[in-house]
Amino acid sequence: MEKATFGAGCFWGVEDRFRQQEGVIDAVSGYAGGQLDNPSYRDVCTDTTGHAEVVEVTYDPQRVGYDTLLNLFWGMHNPTTLNRQGPDIGTQYRSVIFFHTPAQEQLARASKEALDRSGRFAEPVVTQILPAPTFYRAEEYHQRYLEKHGRGGCHL
């Protein structure tokens, strides 16, 4: 099993979309990339901790490739809006790929460059590609949120 970590706005919809991908073993909502240890949702929502809402994906590379996960990531949000997805504004909603291996970094950078060259978006892709920092699992009420409460409340 391998891990991949993505931030694409509100983590509820991101988690739900990755869970539906064949070969994904688990997808967990959480926080990464900030300065505060063990942040809470309330902390992250202040937009002062530096954390992004992210999903840590555990996947079987024999069943799904990292490139497939990247394509899913690019298709589920607008990677050209800085610190914003839909009505959600703040650095916690930024577009970010946290890579766990040099191979993931290489694939992420190549896919970002290809997306930029594709002409799919009029604006440049602003997605950050950074080494995976400590991942902090979000509170339990955020896990599988859309499964528990319906899929109408998310912006994806």
Residues with catalytic function: 10
Hey, what amino acid is at 123? E
In sign, the C-alpha dihedral spanning 133, 139, 140, 142 is negative
Strands 95-99 and 128-131: parallel
Q: Which of 140, 147, 146 minimizes the C-alpha distance to 40?
A: 140
Report residue 49 as tokens. 């901790």
The C-alpha atoms of residue 41 and residue 24 are separated, in whole angstroms, by 25
The C-alpha atoms of residue 100 and residue 95 are separated, in whole angstroms, by 17
